[in-house]
């Protein structure tokens, strides 16, 4: 992964730098998270003892970035947030109808939807905005987001750590993980629909 100057500086700053990089990635997603976290696992985890700490720090940093998006959603209000979410999510196929479905899911099952939103490529950035508009309880939002970020970061950082010393491109490894997650999420959606019908 080619690093810009600010990212190289953050990642060279130890644990605090990793947290700051995770915060920056969530707030201004310059690099895809699946590339960043695989790279962190490959190059910034010194030993197995600190692996869990780095996953926690990255998850907290990412959660704090999501809290900023939550605050933006609250400040913008429903109409402007919907327009922003649709614009941000256009590449992931997030239109007004899907926005409405996500908002309804946040109303009916806030913890589950916020948590799942953090492990779903394409909507990780949008769910905090929607949660802010709906003014979800802060503790519900924060705990679900932290847990979801940990569930997203742990396999990526862990995989990067497992591949240390192997000449693999972090972008290719990250894309493979994301593809597997998309397939898994698709299977879960199909299973839930069948269960509802039954």
* Model pLDDT for residues 181-191, shown as the tens digit of each residue: 667 666 665 66
Give pLDDT, residue 179: 72
Helices 126-133 and 51-76 pack at an angle, to 10 degrees, of 50
pLDDT in tens, 115-171: 988 988 777 878 898 898 888 999 999 999 999 999 999 998 998 898 887 666 666
Structure tokens belonging to residue 26: 């969530």
Asked which of 26-35, 85-94, 98-107 is least confident by mean pLDDT, the reply is 85-94
Mean pLDDT, the chain, whole residue set: 81
Quick one: average pLDDT of 41-47?
A: 85
Select, from the ranges 4-13, 24-33, 86-95, the one with the highest average predicted confidence (pLDDT). Answer: 24-33
């Amino acid at each position: 992964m080619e690093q810009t100057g600010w990212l190289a500086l953050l990642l060279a700053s130890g644990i605090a730098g990793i947290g700051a990089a995770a915060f920056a990635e969530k707030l201004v997603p310059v690099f895809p998270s699946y590339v960043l976290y695989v790279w962190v696992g490959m190059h910034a985890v010194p030993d197995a003892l600190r692996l869990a700490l780095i996953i926690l720090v990255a998850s907290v940093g990412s959660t704090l970035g999501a809290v900023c998006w939550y605050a933006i959603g609250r400040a913008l209000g429903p109409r402007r947030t919907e327009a922003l979410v649709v614009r941000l999510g256009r590449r992931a196929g997030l239109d007004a109808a899907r926005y409405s479905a996500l908002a309804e899911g946040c109303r009916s099952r806030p913890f589950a939807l916020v948590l799942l939103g953090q492990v779903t490529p394409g909507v990780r950035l949008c769910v905090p905005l929607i949660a802010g508009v709906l003014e979800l309880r802060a503790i519900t939002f924060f705990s679900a987001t932290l847990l979801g970020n940990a569930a997203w970061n742990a396999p990526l950082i862990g995989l990067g750590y497992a591949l240390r010393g192997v000449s693999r491109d972090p972008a290719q490894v990250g894309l493979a993980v994301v593809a597997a997650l998309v397939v898994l999420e698709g299977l879960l959606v199909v299973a839930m629909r069948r269960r509802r019908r039954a």
